[in-house]
Structure formats: structure tokens, C-alpha cells
Amino acid sequence: MTKRQRKQPSSSEISPTAIGALLAGEQVSFDDDVAAPKASDEELNSRYAKGEIRIVTEQARYPLAGILQMLRETLPDETGRAELRYQLDPEYQRRHRWSAERKSRLIESFLLNVPVPPVFLYERDLARFEVMDGRQRLTALSDFYADRFALTGLQYWSDLDGRCYSQLPSKVRDGIDRRYISSIILLKETAENEAHAAMLKKMVFERLNSGGVKLGSQETRNAVYNGPLNKLCLQLSELASFRRMWGIPLEPATEERNSDEEVDDALDEATASGMRMFEKMEDVELVLRFFAYRQIGEFKAGLNKISEFLDRFIVRGNRFAPSLLADYRTMFESTIGFLWDALGNDAFTLLDLGRRRATKIVYDPLMYVANSPDVVPHRTKLIAHKDVLRAELQTMYQANAELFSGRRTNFVDTQQRNRCMSVAFAAAIAKTPSA
């Protein structure tokens, strides 16, 4: 029997404990809603008249000279502690920051009185706002008025290159001070409840960004589902060993680049790929995938609708108890630590010298099984005999090349990869003496 003909493991060959029980309060329902029949014209007219899914907004204009003070303004929260009236959380939108030249072009637009798109705010509570779209513009204006950068690369006002705001000629300063930036505010009364608010924010955010550079799924998720679980995923994505496994620099530069070509010219292919992952927040999504994948058996679409799967999971996950999130942290850190010690940089690859690139099709089942009750007690001896584990995994990948090619993503294939991975670990455990 050739490796290609090697018998596929059946579910009866896998210990029931390989999957493992979920933690208390972790279960998420992925039952699909029953498709509703098409509404009649009368029903549609009634729904429209009631204002279903209708955005309530108002407009405002902010003088540029007051932006710096505006973004520093605080109000007491429910506990009496000061909180910012306008939230510009660093993780709220994209990770990359505008370069000084990009900021300068914005300032030049105001100098020329060129129309600048409005910023969009979400009223999270009465007179308290989140910046949904326009964080980079507001940050650039704030930095400019705080003298944090000098103008550079100006096209029509190049004589001002090298000058900060305080160094501008008086008339030029006065001119820019009288400009305004407009805003559109999505009011709190738009949403009936927290779930409705999240749905509307996601819809508005995706449509606002549909005309520019396409946002990654996790960038959008950060903007509309930011909460305790999302923050945990952000923190865990910074683990040095995890970043090394995916080729992400330990201290990624976040200044905006003009194109992917510039990345490729400056960096080797692996590092360029890692940088793109970082900028699109794919590393944060990978952490979330680990937690959500524990319940992949309940999502019959498999990986075919992975974004929907992760969206539905994080909505519920952001409401998990702090104790559960603490268990999640330990679970992820220990699993990454084990795989780093056992397989190193190659952990999420097919362990083939010709294919050294980390892949999600390996990451999902490997992390899943490495964290299973059948494997966790044997981690020490598997590390001590890492060559045995590596050999079993290599054999398994070769025997199931098509299954791990990345082209098969339905539910059955997902479960089959989990079983193959479990069998490989079981074989390695059986061949290694106790530590």
C-alpha cells in the first residue's frame, strides 16, 4: 500500500476525549436561522414606515484649531473616572499609520480649501463618541497642531516643507485655523439594543470603506466587535514565538507604505508576507480562530464561511466571563509554547523543505489537537522526542497531500484533518517513552 493509498482513519479510531469538553460558559450556538418567506409589498411598506434598519444621524462641523483640545476632552464615566469624550483607540481601525508625507498632503488640502471627506462618529453613549471612519485624519490634525511633525512633500506649498504648525507664517496659520472638518454622527437612538448596534455599525463601517483599500475581515471585526475577547486576541498576537512562526517581525513598522511592491523591494518574501499579515490584522484573526475552532464541529459550513463563523463567535465571546478569558489566555500561550518547543519555526508548515510557508490549513487542526486532553499530558515527552513527532506529522502530511492542499474547506474535510492530526499525535505518543 502506497502512502497515497494509506487507509484514512475513521472516527472510531479516535478517542472521544481528543475533542475535549468545552469550558463552562463557552458554548456558542451556530444553528442557522430558518429562511423566512419573502415579505409582501404590504409588509415591506409597513416595515419601512416603522423605520426598520434606518440610520439616525446628525451633522457637525469642527474648527481645525480646536481638534487637539477636542480629542483631549474628558468626561466622568459611571465610576467617576475620566474617560475621553472622543475615542480613537489605536486598535480600532488599521494598524498602519499615515506617514508624515500623507499627513502633510491632508494639511495642504485644507490650505487649498480642497473638500475633505467628513469623519463618521458613533454615539456610544449620550454625547460620547467612537470614531468609525476618519481616525487617521483626526490624528493627523491633532499631531499637526501639537507640532509632532514637520510638513514634507507638499506639491503646491513646497516652500512650507520642513515647518511645523508653530513655525508657519502668521497669515498661513490664521488661514488654516479658520477651516473646518465636517462630521456625520450615527446617533445612539439608531439601535434598539447592543446586538442591533453591532449589526448597524458593521453595515455602516463596511459601506464607508467599500470605495478605498479593501479592509480585511479582522480590521472590520476590530471596528464593530471590539470587546474583551477581541482585546485578548490583540494581546496574544504579540507573543514573540507566535510571530516567529508566521514570519511577522517582532516589532513591525506601522508607517503606511505606498504599495506592496515597496514592501517586496525592501524585505525578503517571507518578511513581506508577515508584514502584510500584520497590517491586515490576520495575526489577531489567527488567535481568534484558535478559540472559535474548538467549536468547528457545530458549524456545518466548515471553513467555507469562516468570516461568518468568526463574527458569530466573537459577538458571543466578547460577553464571556473574565475567568473564561483567563483560561483562554493560558490555553493559547501553553499551546503555542509547546509547538514552538517541539516544532519551532516550521510548526504551521507542511514540514517540507520545498514548502516552508506557514498555512492556516495546518494551523487549525494542529492547534486544535495539540490542545486536546489526549495530547496535553504528553507534551513534555513529545518535546524531548521532537524528531519522532516531526516524522509522524511529515508522514501524515505526505499521505494526505490533497486534504492539506488548502483547496478542501467544507465541514467533512475539516473534521477529517482533525482526525488525521489526532492519529499522527497518537502514533508519536505511542512511540516515545514516558518522560
Q: State the pLDDT at residue 7.
A: 42
Q: State the pLDDT at residue 191.
A: 62
pTM over 0.85: no
Give residue-wise pLDDT tens across range 273-290: 888 888 888 999 999 999
Least confident stretch, 17-21, 62-66, 252-256, 410-414: 17-21
The larger pLDDT score, comparing residue 374 to residue 210, is at 374
CB contact set of 329 (below 8 Å; sequence gap of 6+): 232, 235, 236
Average pLDDT, integer, range 361-374: 96
Q: Is the pLDDT of residue 13 over 50?
A: no
Q: Is the pLDDT of residue 331 over 50?
A: yes
Average pLDDT, integer, range 92-120: 86
Q: Is 78 exposed, middle or buried (0-12, 13-18, 19+ CB in 10 A)?
A: exposed
Average pLDDT, integer, range 128-156: 92
Q: State the pLDDT at residue 278.
A: 86
Q: State the pLDDT at residue 17.
A: 34
Side chain identity at 177, as an amino acid letter? D
Give residue-wise pLDDT tens across range 166-209: 999 999 999 999 999 999 888 776 666 666 666 677 667 666 65
Q: State the pLDDT at residue 33.
A: 47
SS (H, E, C) 239-265: CHHHHHHCCCCCCCCCECCCCHHHHHH
Domain ranges of the chain: 56-212, 216-237+278-435
Partners of 430 in beta bridges? none
Q: Is the pLDDT of residue 105 over 50?
A: yes
Q: Report CA torsion sign: 309, 312, 318, 321.
A: negative
Q: State the pLDDT at residue 360.
A: 95
Q: Is the pLDDT of residue 258 over 90?
A: no
Q: State the pLDDT at residue 40.
A: 78
The alpha carbon of 67 is separated from its chain's Cα centroid by a whole number of angstroms, namely: 29
CB contact set of 161 (below 8 Å; sequence gap of 6+): 104, 150, 151, 152, 153, 154
Give residue-wise pLDDT tens across range 199-257: 677 667 666 655 545 566 787 787 677 789 999 999 999 999 999 999 998 887 666 65
Average pLDDT, integer, range 402-431: 95
Cell, residue 27: 458554548
For the chain, percent of residues with pLDDT exceeding 70: 79
Work out the mean pLDDT of the chain and round it to a whole number.
83
CB contact set of 360 (below 8 Å; sequence gap of 6+): 286, 289, 348, 406
